[in-house]
Structures are given as structure tokens and as C-alpha cells.
Chain A
Amino acid sequence: MYELKNILKTYGTKTVLSIDKLIIKDKNITAISGPNGSGKSTLLEILAGIQKPTEGQIQFKNKNIVKRKPGQVIIILQNPIMFNTSVYSNIAFGLKVKKTDKKTIKQKIEAVLVLVNLNGFAKQNARTLSGGEKQRLAIARALVLEPDIILMDEPTSGLDVQAKEQLKKTIKTIHKDKKIDFIIASHDTEFLFQTATDAFSLLNGQQAPVSVENLFSGVINANGNFIIDSGVEMTLSTFKRGKANILIFPENIVLSKHLLKSSMTNVFKGEVIKLIKFDNEIKVWVDIGIELCCKITPISLKKMQITIADNIFVEFKATAIKVY
């Protein structure tokens, strides 16, 4: 969907974004995690084409982002801004820009209001809606334009648990039924884990080692085993069946050079493909058919003498997997 090369965004002398290369795949709900001030919002606005990078190239669907069609990429800002008019007129704005006839506008708005569960709100002033309702109206306003992708900046900001739950459901339903991709920037990791199918992280404007590691989508079969799209099968502890996302915390994964006799039900043999050293921990990526990120201490690394291309056992309990 997106390919970014050598992106640099500066304000005066301050660099807010510096990304060498980034590919965002299509058919996903992609999460951008990172703390406040990490450059998430700037990146989203650049991806939306409403802000230009100081340097670099952005390809959207193999074309320069500036060549996108009106309404093809839509950004929903943090605390979405509503035009000071009715819910109906807010949704109609983009359609009027596209010179859609009145009858079609009416039909589309009626349908989308049902989809985002805002039917009955058409005549209400958009600025009088609650935070959660505004988020859903912003999605509706975007949806009627039939975009390829919707970008959302901190969508859970100021929402209560119930509103978050409804927003999550709305996003997933739209992604599934309308085949619209989402890129969601947030520091609400729980919301991201539960909603996203792919993720990357930003730290100080740079793409950081993924902090939303080991997030996979797949299907839980009748036996309660999770089968990742790539074919890797894992044992879970859940009653859930069907499509699901799982998260395996890297610190819950045990690495060993030899097969262990233990209660751990998920045992894989893989190859070490990447090692990154931090101050007090080492991240080890092991290819077991999927890339699995594991965390170990520098002492363990020294003791085990793990190097790139080593064959290694990866083991973790069924309960170490969080299912969403």
C-alpha cells in the first residue's frame, strides 16, 4: 500500500521524523505505536498527503502520494474536527466535493449512519455529539467516500471503555465487510493489540524495533489450536474459535540450544535471524516459519553464545499467548 524512502520532516532545526525505509502492507489494520511526541501524528499526516515531508518519497499504490484521488486516503484527526453543522451535512461534505447528486448523497448517508450506529442523529449538530459518537461520525464521513484507507490519530483519546469497545467493533466490521484498510496511531497499546493485524513503532521520529512484537492473525481451529496465516500452529488456552489475533510477549519465550523437558506445549525449532542489543536486554528474532521476537538478558546471551544463523529451540506455554 505505502512505500516510504528517506523521509525527513523538520520544523526549523528540529527533526520530527526520520525514516529510511518503511513499507506498509495492504489488507491490514496497521498499528503505529509509540509515546507522545514520537512523530506518529506527523507520519499520519504525511501518509494522508496533507503534510509534505521536508525530504523523501512516498509511494501510495505505486504512485506518488500527491497523485492520489480525492477521498482515496482519509485521515481522522485526534479529537476529530466537526464542521459546525448537522451530522448529515458533515457526512455530505466530501460527497458534495465529488459532485455527487442529492439522491445518492441521501441514500449513502442513510446507509452509513446505520453502519456506524448513528441512525437517528442526522439532524443533530455534530459538535453536540459525545467523543465516541464523533469518532464514529468521522468514520462515517470518511466511509461514504469509499476510500482505500482510513488513517486514525489517537482514536481512543478521551473515550470510555464502552466507547472504545464500540469503536473497535466498528473498525473491524468495516475492515472485514468493506475491505477498507486502517492505519491507527495510538499509545493505547491495549486498543492496538485488540484491533490491529500489523504493527510498527516510532521512537523520537525514527522507526524503532517493533514494540508490538509477536502480534499475529490467524484462525483458532476446532481443537483450540491457533493456525497463523503462514501455517505455523500453536496451542492455546481459550474457548474462542474462528478468526483471532494473538500476542506472545517476548519475555515469556524461552530459548534453548537443546530440547527441554518441561510443561511448555509450544515448542519450535528455528534459526536466529536477527540480534539487537539494548542496555539491559537482547532482542533475538527466530524464524520458526514466522519471525518470533524473544527477549533475553546479556548474561544469557553470553552463556548460550547465540549468534546469527544458529539453530535454536523456542518454547512457551499456551497461557503465554494472549488471544484477541
Chain B
Amino acid sequence: MFFDAFENIFLIISSGSTDLGIIVWISLEVTLIATIIASVFGIIIGFILAITEFKFKQLIISILNTSLAIPTVVIGLFLYGLLSRSGVFGNFSLLYTKTAIIIGQTVLIFPIIITFVHSAIKAVDPGIEKTARSLGAGRYHTSLAIMREAKFGVMLAIIAAFGRGISEVGISMMLGGNIAGYTRNMTTTIALEHNKGDFSLALAVGLILLIITFGINMVFHYIQRINKR
């Protein structure tokens, strides 16, 4: 079966199959957009959570930590209720579109970014803030200095979030509807091909998915190694 899968990958790639290309592209496009949206807000919120003290902060952190374990189908189901015709946002006709998957994946990975960034900022030596402030830095430059120290933690948060987004299936299936050439991505293809009994194609797509996430992680480690020199 594995040999068939490998053979299929090479066959599909060498044949220049546009179908697989579209599937991969939809996966990347949707997850990249979701990761960017979640990162922009998640990094800011994670940073603020780490450097400020306020009432109910610990409660918020506990809720965020708990939300890391919410199954994707639960998020899918919840958003389905909101986006379906009878839902609050039904008028926008977002269900079974890429936008719906983007919204779902953003909700899924948002707490990952916040909690990872929060931990990364918390791990920065408090002396960095004092040193930056002593060297005349205001709030903006001090924040940048702290963020720079936590850059690998922040990068890890983004990569983990991207990995979680691209590998989820529940949200894509429930909110995207697995429409070929439109919302069908790698994970929904795997699920579909498995249901059809075409294990070799399912595995081929699965391997491409693994290669993509592995490649991103390798790039991250390479950057980290260069910076340590």
C-alpha cells in the first residue's frame, strides 16, 4: 500500500495533475490566511496577557488552555449553527465557502497562538525590560525588545498553529462541504478517498501533507540554528 502511495505521488506530480495541485493550494491558502489573521491578533493578545496584570487574568488563561483541547467537530458544529441559513450570520451565505473554513480554522488556532506567545513572553528574562527601559526605550521599543527575545517562541506558536490548521478535518468538512475544486482540501480529500476505499490516493495526499509540515519545521529549525551562531 505504501509503495502504491509513493508511486501515486510521483505519478500525480509527474503528470502535473491540476486536481491535486488545487487541493494542495486550497489547503495552503485557507490555513495561511487563518494563521495570519490568528497571528496578528493572537500575538498582540498573548503579549498583553504576559506583560499586564488584571482581574480574571488567570481565569482567561485557564479558559484558553482548556480551549486547546476542543475537538474540531465541536467548533465546526458551533460555527455551522451560526453560519447556516437559520443562523445569526446566515444572511452572509458563508457556509460551504473557503471563508467559512478560514473562520473555523482561525477560531481553532487562535488560542494556540495566544497561549504559546504568552508562555514565550513569560519566559523572557525580566532584565530585558529593565535594560531596554534603562537605555531610553519607551513602551514601543521595550515591547519590541521583549518580542525579539521571544521570537523563536512566537515562530513556534505560528508553526504549531499552522500545523493544527492544515491537519484538521472536522471544520473543513462541516463548514466547507468538501466541494471539489472549491473547498476540497487535503484532509477532506483523505477522508473522502478513505470512504471510497482508495487508500493509496488517501495516503499519497497524507504524505504530501506530512512533507509540507515537515518542511516548515525544518525551515524553522534551520533559522533557529543560524541565529544561535
Contact = CB atoms under 8 A, between A and B. Distances in A.
B135 to A, nearest CB: 4
Interface in B117-165: 125, 127-128, 130-138, 141, 145, 148-149
Interface string A22-51: 000000000000000000000001001010
A168 to B, nearest CB: 22
A98 B229 contact: no
A83 B145 contact: yes
Contacts of A45: 130
Interface in A57-113: 69-71, 73-77, 80-81, 83-85, 93-94, 96-98
A123 to B, nearest CB: 10
A85 B132 CA distance: 14
A125 B128 contact: no
B134 to A, nearest CB: 5
A255 interface: no
A225 B75 CA distance: 87
A145 interface: yes
A141 B137 CA distance: 13
Which of B133, B136, B137, B148: most chain A Cβ within 10 A?
B136
B23 to A, nearest CB: 40
Interface string B186-229: 00000000000000000000000000000000000000000111
B136 A81 contact: no
Contacts of A74: 134-135
B135 A71 contact: yes
B127 A77 contact: yes
Contacts of B138: 70, 97
B134 A83 contact: no
Nearest to B140: A97
Contacts of B127: 77, 81
A7 interface: no
Size range of the chain B interface in the assembly: 10 to 19
A96 B137 CA distance: 9
Size range of the chain A interface in the assembly: 20 to 34
Contacts of A94: 135-137
A69 B138 CA distance: 11
B130 A50 contact: yes
A220 interface: no
Contacts of B131: 77, 80-81, 83
Which of B130, B134, B145, B229: most chain A Cβ within 10 A?
B134
Contacts of B148: 83-85
A125 B229 contact: yes
A17 interface: no
Contacts of B149: 83-84
Contacts of A50: 130, 133-134
Given A77-B127, A81-B125, A81-B128, A97 B141 contact: yes
A77 B129 CA distance: 12
A48 B134 CA distance: 7
A310 B149 CA distance: 63
A289 B97 CA distance: 90
A141 B134 CA distance: 11
Interface in B85-136: 125, 127-128, 130-136
B135 A93 contact: yes
Contacts of A98: 136
Contact of A81 (B130, B141, B228, B229): B130
A77 B135 contact: no
Given A97-B138, A145-B135, 15 more contacts: A71-B135, A74-B135, A75-B134, A77-B127, A77-B131, A81-B130, A83-B145, A93-B137, A93-B145, A97-B135, A97-B136, A125-B229, A141-B135, A142-B135, A145-B136
Interface of A: 45, 48, 50, 69-71, 73-77, 80-81, 83-85, 93-94, 96-98, 125, 141-142, 145
10 smallest CB-CB distances across A and B, nearest first, come from: A70-B136, A81-B127, A71-B136, A94-B135, A75-B134, A81-B131, A97-B137, A97-B141, A97-B136, A50-B133
10 contacts: A71-B135, A73-B134, A74-B135, A81-B127, A83-B148, A84-B227, A93-B145, A94-B135, A97-B141, A98-B136
